[in-house]
Amino acid sequence: MKVLKFGGTSVGSAARMKDVAKLICDGEQKIVVLSAMSGTTNSLVEISEYLYKNNIAGAYERINALEQKYFDVIEDLYSTAEYKVEVKKELKSHFEYLRSFSKSVFTLFEEKAILAEGELLSTTIFQLYLKEKGENCALLPALEYMRIDKNAEPDTAFIAENLTKQLALQPDMMIYITQGFICRNFYGEIDNLQRGGSDYSASLVGAAVKADEIQIWTDIDGMHNNDPRFVEGTKPVPVLHFEEAAELAYFGAKILHPTCILPAKLNNIPVRLLNTMDPNAAGTMISNQSKKGKIEAVAAKDGITAIKIKSGRMLLAHGFLRKVFEIFESYHTPIDMVTTSEVGVSVSIDNAKRLDEIVNELKKFGTVTVDREMVIVCVVGDMNVENIGFQAKVVNAMSEIPVRMISYGGSNYNISFLIKAEDKKRALNALSAALFN
């Protein structure tokens, strides 16, 4: 069985939904994971903001506008009056549900229930559309099988067991449609896998059914070898190792949510990135295989803060790094890059919310310097130690750029540089020129 995920833009209008239907109705059995129609989750966040502020009129205005948008989609999507009437009735109940929140206290719990509506709407509309077309299809309710545990980590055993049950309830369907993003938490409340989490859903579903392949359909032709917003002539990378893709996804390639990699990697299920606008394009194939001896791609992550702690006390001492890392841990701030010398350590973080408190505590251990507005540029490829000269080539390409930190050897797949934001475009172009042309 294959699992195919279509993002918000791919189901963003009646026309796009028709394209998706054409793509998936090929006589092969599959599970299709859908996001909310593009813009919907943002609208639901906005509606929640009005409800938090108890601005009922504001919330209703937004709900009504969203409802009208959906009614327009229905007019364009379905061809029979019978279906239009039935689906509108169904949608009305969802919008009545949204309006009902104005009568209760509004907390995070209610907000999560509201956010879940986006995927519930898109899947309902799409499944009924397939039904109208005469396809043999069914809805798999994600809230019945997708669950996170106390630590907000997916409960994979529960997911596999209950997804299997849901499939058995409606056997022999050609196409199963299910919601991305939404789940229940440990307490049985409606929750979600965080913004952009539909990719994660697809990967978890794929792992649960031991899929042959997970396909993530977007509107770009795969992961590019550099950021097309800053570099001209970038190209899709045909083949990536899971670890290379994870680095790229985390360090800026927006096409794939970084969390999506792990379940697929653990279960050795290839992930293919494909383009709904150009379905025959090769896209990017992510698996446990990598191309040997090749530098594949470059990505950049903005909004990085670098912190240097210099201390004579570090010299010949042990336990210094632990103390430093513990401070970051106690403020729930993950560290991205680390470089050390005998008298100091530099780290980078992308969440500077607790920076002042962290710096204040670090001052116990040494002299602290902070650099803001930094960027991590990450070069991904087969960086095995045996490949002599690879790091030299990459470092050479950066010869005109002031580099604050370099990280190499953390994995076999990447070299990262920390540079100033103002040098980002220059660095990305220099790397493309040296590595890919």
d(CA 328, CA 334): 7
Scan for tokens 């697929």, then name that residue.
Answer: 264
**CA separation for the pair 346, 371 (Å, rounded):** 11
Q: Is 179 in the site for ligand ASP (CB under 6 A)?
A: no
Distance (Å, rounded) from C-alpha 419 to C-alpha 318? 30
Nearer to ligand ASP, 73 or 405 (CB): 73
According to CB under 6 A, which one of 180, 206, 222, 263 is a site residue for ligand ASP? 180
By CB under 6 A, residue 197 contacts ligand ASP? yes
> Does position 197 bind Mg ion by CB under 5 A?
no
- 118 near ligand ASP, judged by CB under 6 A: yes
The helix, strand and coil proportions of the chain, stated in percent and rounded to the nearest 5, come to: 40, 25, 35
From the list 12, 154, 180, 196, which residue makes contact with Mg ion (rule: CB under 5 A)?
A: 196
Only segment of 132-140, 190-198, 231-239, 393-401 that touches ligand ASP (CB under 6 A):
190-198
Terminal-to-terminal C-alpha distance of the chain? 39
Choice between 198 and 407, CB closer to ligand ASP: 198
8 binds ligand ASP (CB under 6 A): yes
Contact flag: residue 21 with ligand ASP (CB under 6 A):
no
- Single out the residue of 185, 193, 163 nearest to residue 176, CA to CA: 163
**How many residues are given for the chain?**
437
Q: Which of 413, 326, 322, 423 is nearest to 371 (CA)?
A: 423
154 near ligand ASP, rule: CB under 6 A: no
Q: Which stretch binds Mg ion (CB under 5 A): 129-137, 191-199, 335-343, 398-406?
A: 191-199
Name the one range near Mg ion by CB under 5 A: 196-204, 259-267, 315-323, 396-404: 196-204
Q: x-or-dash pattern for Mg ion, window 3-22, by CB under 5 A?
A: ----x---------------
Query: Minimum distance between the CB of residue 101 and ligand ASP, rounded to whole angstroms?
Result: 19
Contacting range for ligand ASP; rule: CB under 6 A; set: 142-150, 192-200, 353-361, 411-419 = 192-200
Q: Pick what 118 binds: Mg ion, ligand ASP, none; C-beta below 5 to 8 Å, kind-dependent.
A: ligand ASP
Task: Out of 10, 43, 198, 276, point to the residue binding ligand ASP (CB under 6 A).
Answer: 198
> Quick one: which H or E segment has residue 23?
helix 14-24
Q: 14, 44 in Cβ contact below 8 A?
A: no
The two counts, helices (H) then strands (E), for the chain are 14, 16
Structure tokens at 398: 């950066």
For residue 259, give Cα distances in angstroms to 110, 149, 348.
Answer: 25, 16, 20
Residues that bind ligand ASP (CB under 6 A): 7-8, 35-36, 41, 118, 180-181, 195-198
